[in-house]
Amino acid sequence: MLFLTLLEVLPGRAGDQPSTLKRIRSVTPPAGIKILGVYFLFGRYDGAILFEAPDLRTAKDFILRAATHIYKTETLTALPAEEL
């Protein structure tokens, strides 16, 4: 399954954002997670993580470990357009 997590920095944590996004990209992901991209965003959201996970529970566990206490998150399930 493909997931897109949008990240919004929590108040008072803006200084942690660059190092946290770089850490997410450089750390070996948990079993079953394949990180496809980590992005800085300009606009309402501050960052995004595009990743694959075998199921919703694995995706949730990954995001909770990666972004807790620094980001407010919104995770979307994605479907490649060619699969429609």
| Confidence check: pLDDT of 50 > 90 | yes
Q: Is residue 72 part of a domain?
A: yes
Q: Please report, rounded to a whole number, the percentage of residues in the chain having pLDDT higher than 90.
A: 54
pLDDT band of 17, cuts 50, 70, 90: low
Would the CA dihedral through 10, 14, 16, 17 be positive or negative? positive
The whole model's pTM is what? 0.84
Instruction: Domain of residue 34: give its range.
Output: 2-79
| Confidence check: pLDDT of 53 > 90 | yes
- CATH number for 64: 3.30.70.920
How many independent structural domains does the chain possess?
1
